[in-house]
Every structure is written in structure tokens, then in C-alpha cells.
């Protein structure tokens, strides 16, 4: 069955549209929750070019410089932690300390944000 002559949708078309809308919304919610549950902290040390244009400061890695860095990705919902380190990063105590501090602070912030989000959701359901 298609549309009737007046252009109005029939019951099955309306149900299909509603299903598509709900599926799309659920997919968006799932993607948002996936992003909320992933914490990524990246710390790099490299020579930087500092520029001030129109009163705005900008930083960019110096061309050809060899950077040292660490990247940590934490899946909060699964407890999975992945670290990637550049060569020599383990020997750089300052880099390790800065990165460890940033990961700790970020975990606390994300944890607090997720608690606030859960409280908001619970209040909306009441």
C-alpha cells in the first residue's frame, strides 16, 4: 500500500517513519554514550613556534622537531586502559609526571560529570 491520493501517509508508513526516527535517535544516544565513556589524554613535549596574530596567541610544533609524547585512552565502562609512548618517553620523568597528573585529573572530572549526568537523568524520570 502506498500513499492515498490526498498525499497523507497510511498507518504502515507512519509506523515505519516512527521506527526509523526512534532507531536514529537510539543510534545517536549510543554514539554519545560511547564518547562519554572514552577518556583520552595526550601529552607531548616538543619545540614550539609561538606566534601572536591579531592579539591571539598560537602554538605549533616546530617543523622537523622530534617530539616525545604519551597517549592514554581509558574505556570507563569497561576499565580498559591503553597507553602509547614515544621512544624515550619512559626516561623523561617530567613528561611522565605531567601526563600522570593529567590522567588523574581527567578521570576525576569525567567521573564527576558522569555522576551529574546520571543524577540529571534520574531527576528527569521522576
- Residue 31 pLDDT class (50, 70, 90 cuts): confident
For residue range 43-89, what is the model confidence (pLDDT) as tens digits? 998 898 899 888 899 988 888 888 899 999 998 788 899 999 998 89
CB neighbours (10 Å) of residue 82? 10
Q: What is the 3-state secondary structure (H, E, C) of 61-90?
A: ECCCCCCEEEEEEEECCCCEEEEEECCCCC
CA distances, 126 to each of 89, 113, 123 (Å)? 50, 20, 5
For residue range 82-116, what is the model confidence (pLDDT) as tens digits? 999 998 898 999 999 999 999 999 988 888 888 88
| CA–CA separation, 7 and 57 (whole Å) | 57
Nearest to 35 by CA among 72, 71, 70, 76: 76
CB neighbours (10 Å) of residue 79? 7
Nearest to 70 by CA among 59, 54, 55, 86: 86
Amino acid at each position: 500500500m502506498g500513499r492515498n491520493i490526498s498525499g497523507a501517509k497510511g498507518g504502515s508508513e507512519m509506523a515505519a517513519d516512527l521506527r526509523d526516527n526512534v532507531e536514529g535517535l537510539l543510534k545517536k544516544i549510543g554514539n554519545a554514550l560511547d564518547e562519554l565513556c572514552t577518556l583520552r589524554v595526550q601529552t607531548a613535549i616538543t619545540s614550539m613556534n609561538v606566534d601572536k596574530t591579531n592579539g591571539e596567541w598560537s602554538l605549533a610544533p616546530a617543523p622537523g622537531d622530534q617530539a616525545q609524547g604519551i597517549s592514554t585512552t581509558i574505556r570507563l565502562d569497561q576499565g580498559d586502559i591503553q597507553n602509547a609512548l614515544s621512544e624515550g618517553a619512559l626516561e623523561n620523568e617530567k613528561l611522565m609526571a605531567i601526563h600522570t597528573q593529567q590522567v588523574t585529573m581527567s578521570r576525576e572530572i569525567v567521573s564527576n560529570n558522569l555522576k551529574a549526568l546520571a543524577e540529571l537523568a534520574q531527576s528527569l524520570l521522576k
